[in-house]
Amino acid sequence: MNYNKEFRVKEGDHILLRNFDPGFTDENETKKSALLKIDKLQQKMDMLQFQLFAEQKRSLLICLQGLDAAGKDGVIRHVIGLMNPQGCRVVSFKQPSQEELSHDYLWRIQLQTPRRGEIVIFNRSQYEDVLIVRVHDLVPKNIWSKRFSQINDFERLLVSDGIHILKFFLHISKEEQLRRFEERLDDPNRQWKISDADYSERNFWEDYQKAYEDVLNKCSTGNSPWFIIPSDHKWFRNLAISTIIADTLEKLHIEMPKPAVNIDDIRMKYHQAAEE
């Protein structure tokens, strides 16, 4: 299955999330086969990231969005966790600080975009400003409704500067979310993640679905695509995202820079030093 094509939201699409099964898996894959493939894909991504860092010409921005317990942290840990931290960075966007609120809503996003040669993962992103602010009526509709085109313009600017963008919506069912909340209650190592908001936000489930549909329909472009990733099964979620990231990096045809010194001269000096 071509995950890049299967889960990509095409520009101009009008998708409804109820038509996408969050429990979908590739019929040709099992959890065992997927884990083996993910291991190989991680090795490929590690190599490609090294080449991207060495080339110092382009960069990659990965945006992760999804409702609570959809697996944003899991993707970072299991899919991207093996990348060299020298050239890979994770940024989490929480409630804006007073400093951030004193600027436009994209200011804090711009500060964290990747440098040339770097891969940056956004755990939540610029899209919070057309999601949570909309669902909870934190800003008027005439304000947030303008942000779709503003974000598209912002991403177009990033792309023109050599930043490649992948945006993943981790699509989880309401039933699976509740099951994962229950797992947290029973796991002392994850109880710290529990909050009252986990359950109160479930009252806004349909509002979030509509908000995400607008994001996916209005902000998936040819150079900055959204992917709807079925996420009820963690192993399949990780396989699909790993495949898309690895394929994207591979298609960049990254070229390693040529040495800045004469290798033959350096090799001769090495042999001379070894003979002394």
Q: Is the pLDDT of residue 184 over 80?
A: yes
Residue 189 pLDDT level (bands cut at 50, 70, 90): confident
Picking from 1-5, 18-22, 240-244, 265-269, which range would have the lowest pLDDT averaged per residue? 265-269
The larger pLDDT score, comparing residue 87 to residue 82, is at 87
What confidence score (pLDDT) does residue 263 get? Answer: 78
Spatial separation of the C-alpha atoms in residues 74 and 80, rounded to whole Å: 9
Q: What CATH number corresponds to the domain at position 169?
A: 3.40.50.300
Mean pLDDT of 34-53: 96
Pairing of strands 226-230, 8-9: antiparallel
Task: Give the total number of structural domains in the chain.
Answer: 1
Look at the alpha carbons of 138, 229, 60, 88 in this order and tell me if their dihedral is positive or negative: positive
Domain of residue 88, residue span: 3-275
Mean pLDDT of 153-171: 98
Picking from 59-63, 153-157, 224-228, 269-273, which range would have the lowest pLDDT averaged per residue? 269-273
Spatial separation of the C-alpha atoms in residues 148 and 153, rounded to whole Å: 9
Average model confidence (pLDDT) across the chain:
94
